[in-house]
A and B are shown apart, each in its own frame.
Chain A
Amino acid sequence: MSVVSEGFSGRRGRDPRLPPGQYDVGGSFPVLTAEATPNVTQETWTFRVDGEVETPTTWDWAGVHALPGSAYEGDIHCVTTWSKLGTSFSGVSLDVLLEQVGVRPSATHVLAWASSGYTTNLPLADVTGGRAWLVWEHEGRPLSAEHGGPVRMLVPHLYFWKSTKWVAGLRLLDHDEPGFWERNGYHERGEPWAEQRYAGD
């Protein structure tokens, strides 16, 4: 039972696209990182899918661009309570990459990782079925380094810490294994509409 904050009305005209506890950040795009921005370029970036797959595979910049492209248009939600509505990213659907490596039936989860050592865990079902991407363009422009460029992951139906910046690989696992923020107090899954912010929420 929470107390009513006397005199508080909040911003009026709340957008129905906002999950509970989130606010609309408008045209800005806040930057949140835990670590120093690594020096990753289009020339040095690679992406490896390994673990519970038939054919572990590494792509480079040209390699992912040779794949059929895919775009996301919609909203993103950061656990620190901002949401960015009606934005867009383009890149390639993770489904395309996973189809090429051949996912073993034993795979249940993935651990996405960046060259900085950042990791995040997701159920396999959250990165398949058209729900996750590798992206290198934001609103028509190359993704900047502070936003995870040259290539980041995009899993827009979960809080944005799951959308690994400077993503370098995806390891498919036959078990769940907590990633960086999941070890450091945040929720295992991070579903914005259920407000799964912190461990135990």
Chain B
Amino acid sequence: MTDSADGTGLPALPVLDSPRRRVPPTGAKRSWQTGTVLEVRRETPHAATYRVQLEQWQPHLPGQNYLVRLTAPDGYRAQRSYSAASPPEDAGVVELTVDRLPDGEVSGYLHDHVRPGSPLEVRGPFGGWFVWRGDRPALLVGGGSGVVPLACVLRSRAARLATGATPAPVHLVAAARTRAELLYADELTGPFAEDTTVVLSREDDAGPGRPGRPAGRLRAEDLLPHAERLGALTTGDDGADVFLCGSTPFTTAAERLLRELGVPADAIRVERFGPS
């Protein structure tokens, strides 16, 4: 054990978010505000995107989330957090993609009642850990609605490239049961096709100019070439970051695969989604 540098003589504790991986606090105040829904877009049979205009908008980092709060006439409230899907370069608005959960108290209401013009109470952006700043290569692994914050990374990176900036390379491995259930499918297999691997668990997948992938859950060969190319197998500060997002079964399985491939544990950041 090494002695701490602070002169107490106590052994130094391990640190998950070493200073190089920390996001400096902005100090910005994040109060509840009532936004206006500008647009509702159907993404899949179970998911819709709500584009919300905010008066007190501040740029988020890809990976950050907003709280949505509902208030009943008797004062009862319910709130849930949803990842920002739109990039921070899309100023003044935030898009939230919401999966309709079975018996979902908030997601059910959003799907059934919220239309363009509806007011929506939100608060954010929050999150200082599961965030992509653009300065380090990143392997993005998302399942189901876990693709949302990772698509935000791709969108923000594209916006930065368009302005002549040189953000670090990324690759998204996006998993869904079927093509119809894959969020942002046209975008991921269109403009972002080079930076995306689609993994369908229940459908064979082949597209023009793409090698086919037989149906099946996430496999090592879906991850390995991208993990190698981006440097996710490298230990220490030079390695790529891995952002893993999805349900607990998905993230647990993906984490095991990544560790078996040799991705260091401290390179992996996890965000678990679902009926939590």
Contacts and interface: CB of A to CB of B under 8 A. Distances in A.
Contacts of B241: none
Contact of A7 (B109, B128, B268): B109
A171 B16 contact: no
**Main secondary structure on B side of the interface with A:** mixed
A137 B16 CA distance: 26
B76 A119 contact: no
Nearest to B17: A180
Interface stretch (A8-16, A64-72, A86-94, A126-134): A8-16
A35 interface: yes
Interface stretch (A26-34, A95-103, A148-156): A26-34
A81 B79 contact: yes
B69 A2 contact: yes
Given A37-B255, A116-B14, A6 B72 contact: no
Contacts of B22: 183-184
A74 interface: no
Contacts of B7: none
Given A35-B268, A35-B270, A10 B126 contact: no
Contacts of A114: 14
B128 A80 contact: no
Contact of B113 (A5, A11, A31, A115): A5
B275 A2 contact: no
Contacts of B258: 36
Interface residues of A, number: 49
Given A5-B113, A10-B105, A116 B13 contact: no
Nearest to B264: A36
Interface in B220-264: 248, 252, 255, 258-259
A32 B13 CA distance: 22
A178 to B, nearest CB: 11
A105 interface: no
Given A35-B270, A51-B10, A184 B121 contact: no
Nearest to A79: B81
B201 interface: no
A169 B11 CA distance: 12
A78 B274 CA distance: 14
Given A10-B70, A36-B259, A116-B16, A82 B119 contact: no
B71 interface: yes
A113 B11 CA distance: 13
Given A10-B105, A35-B265, A180-B17, A4 B73 contact: yes
Contacts of A80: 81, 276
Given A6-B113, A185-B126, 4 more contacts: A9-B76, A33-B270, A117-B13, A198-B126
The 6 closest A-B pairs by CB, nearest first: A117-B16, A184-B128, A117-B14, A30-B276, A36-B265, A5-B70
